[in-house]
Structure 1
Amino acid sequence: MRRLHNILGLALLILLLPGCSPVAAVNTAGKPVTTPARGPVTQGNGNLAVLAGKLKAANRAPVTIVQFGDSHTAADLFSGEMRRLLQAQYGDGGIGLVSATPVPGTRYEQVILKTAKRQWELVSARNQQSTQFPLGGYLSVPLAAKPSVRIEAREPSTQRYRVSALYQARESTSLLLSDSRSQNRRLLAATAGQWRFGPMVNNLGLPLDLTLDSRPGTVLGGWYLQGQKNAGVIYSALGINGARLDVQNKWQPGWESTLKSLRPDLVILAYGTNEAFDDTLDLNLYQAQLEQTLERLRRDLPRAVLLIIGPPDSIKHRKAQSCAARQPQPLAAVVRIQREAARQANALFWDWQAYMGGPCSIAAWQAQGLARGDLVHLSADGYRKSAAGLYDYLRTQLNLQ
Structure 2
Amino acid sequence: MPRMPGPLTLLAALILSGCSPVSALDKPTQAPAVQKPAARVTDGEPNLPALQRKFQAANRAAISIVQLGDSHTAADLFTGELRARFQQDYGNGGIGFIAATPVPGTRYDQLRLSTAKGQWQLVSARNQQSAQFPLGGYLSLPQSANARVHLEPTPPTEQRYRVSALYQASSANRLLVSDGATQTVRALSPSNGNWRFSPTVSNVRLPMDLSLAGKQGLALGGFNLLAQQNTGVVFSTLGINGATFNVVDKWQPGWLDTLKALKPDLLIIAYGTNEAFDDDLDLSLYQSQLTDKLKALRSALPGTALLVVGAPDSYKNRKAATCAARQPRNLRPLIQVQKTVAQQQRTLYWSWQAYMGGDCSIERWQAQDLARPDFVHFNAAGYKQAADGLYEYLSGVIKTGR
Using the size of structure 1 for normalisation, the TM-score is 0.88
* Local SS of the residue matching 1:337: helix
* Local SS of the residue matching 1:92: coil
Q: Distance in 2 between matches of 1:358 and 1:269?
A: 21
| Match status 1:297 vs 2:297 | yes
What corresponds to 1:166 in structure 2? 166
What corresponds to 1:98 in structure 2? 98
| Match status 1:252 vs 2:223 | no
| Match status 1:363 vs 2:363 | yes
Q: Distance in 1 between matches of 2:336 and 2:265?
A: 26
What corresponds to 1:218 in structure 2? 218
What corresponds to 2:80 in structure 1? 80
User: What is the CA-CA distance between 1:45 and the residue it aligns to?
Assistant: 4.1
* Local SS of the residue matching 1:61: coil
Q: Distance in 2 between matches of 1:94 and 1:288?
A: 36
What corresponds to 1:146 in structure 2? 146
1:139-180 per-position Cα deviation (integer Å, ceiling 9, x unaligned): 000111110000000101111100000000000100110002
1:182-219 per-position Cα deviation (integer Å, ceiling 9, x unaligned): 00011011101000000110011111001111242100
What corresponds to 1:155 in structure 2? 155
* Local SS of the residue matching 1:113: strand
Count the aligned residue pairs: 359
Q: Distance in 2 between matches of 1:107 and 1:262?
A: 20
User: What is the CA-CA distance between 1:44 and the residue it aligns to?
Assistant: 6.7
Q: Distance in 2 between matches of 1:371 and 1:355?
A: 14
Residues 256-267 of structure 1: pairs in structure 2 closer than 5 A: 256-267=256-267
Residues 12-91 of structure 1: pairs in structure 2 closer than 5 A: 45-91=45-91
What corresponds to 2:344 in structure 1? 344
Q: Distance in 2 between matches of 1:108 and 1:322?
A: 38
1:90-112 per-position Cα deviation (integer Å, ceiling 9, x unaligned): 11001110000000000000000
User: Does structure 2 retain, via aligned residues, the 8 Å contact 1:46–1:306?
Assistant: no
User: Does structure 2 retain, via aligned residues, the 8 Å contact 1:171–1:215?
Assistant: no
* Local SS of the residue matching 1:249: helix
| Match status 1:230 vs 2:230 | yes
What corresponds to 1:115 in structure 2? 115
* Local SS of the residue matching 2:259: helix
Moved more, 360-369 or 65-74: 360-369
The one-letter amino acid paired with 2:103 is V
The one-letter amino acid paired with 2:224 is Y
| Match status 1:326 vs 2:322 | no
* Local SS of the residue matching 2:93: strand
**CA pair 375-44 structure 1, distance change in 2 beyond 3 A:** closer
Q: Distance in 2 between matches of 1:158 and 1:145?
A: 31
What corresponds to 1:353 in structure 2? 353
Q: Distance in 2 between matches of 1:318 and 1:382?
A: 19
User: Does structure 1 retain, via aligned residues, the 8 Å contact 2:143–2:215?
Assistant: no
What corresponds to 2:128 in structure 1? 128
What corresponds to 2:179 in structure 1? 179
Q: Distance in 1 between matches of 2:379 and 2:111?
A: 20
Q: Distance in 1 between matches of 2:260 and 2:301?
A: 7
* Local SS of the residue matching 1:144: coil
Q: Distance in 2 between matches of 1:91 and 1:44?
A: 26
* Local SS of the residue matching 1:64: strand
User: What is the CA-CA distance between 1:396 and the residue it aligns to?
Assistant: 2.0
* Local SS of the residue matching 2:129: coil
Q: Distance in 1 between matches of 2:237 and 2:118?
A: 27
User: What is the CA-CA distance between 1:59 and the residue it aligns to?
Assistant: 0.7
What corresponds to 2:375 in structure 1? 375
1:363-394 per-position Cα deviation (integer Å, ceiling 9, x unaligned): 11111110001000001010011011111121
User: Does structure 2 retain, via aligned residues, the 8 Å contact 1:131–1:253?
Assistant: no
What corresponds to 2:6 in structure 1? none
* Local SS of the residue matching 2:399: coil
User: What is the CA-CA distance between 1:261 and the residue it aligns to?
Assistant: 1.2
User: Does structure 1 retain, via aligned residues, the 8 Å contact 2:45–2:348?
Assistant: no
1:95-138 per-position Cα deviation (integer Å, ceiling 9, x unaligned): 11000000000000000000000000000000011221000000
Using the size of structure 2 for normalisation, the TM-score is 0.88
Q: Distance in 1 between matches of 2:103 and 2:256?
A: 22
What corresponds to 1:38 in structure 2? none
* Local SS of the residue matching 1:372: coil
Q: Distance in 2 between matches of 1:199 and 1:391?
A: 34
The one-letter amino acid paired with 2:104 is P
Measured on the aligned residues, the alpha-carbon RMSD in Å equals 1.1
1:228-277 per-position Cα deviation (integer Å, ceiling 9, x unaligned): 00111000000000000000000000110001111110000000000000
* Local SS of the residue matching 2:202: strand
Q: Structure 1: where are the runs of 5+ without partners?
A: 1-42
User: Does structure 2 retain, via aligned residues, the 8 Å contact 1:313–1:358?
Assistant: yes
Q: Distance in 1 between matches of 2:399 and 2:169?
A: 45
- Larger relative contact order (C-alpha < 8 A, sep ≥ 6)? 2
Q: Distance in 1 between matches of 2:251 and 2:288?
A: 19
Q: Distance in 2 between matches of 1:231 and 1:109?
A: 20
Q: Structure 2: where are the runs of 5+ without partners?
A: 1-42
Q: Distance in 2 between matches of 1:323 and 1:44?
A: 34
Spell out structure 1 runs of 4+ moving beyond 6 A.
none
| Match status 1:307 vs 2:307 | yes
| Match status 1:195 vs 2:195 | yes
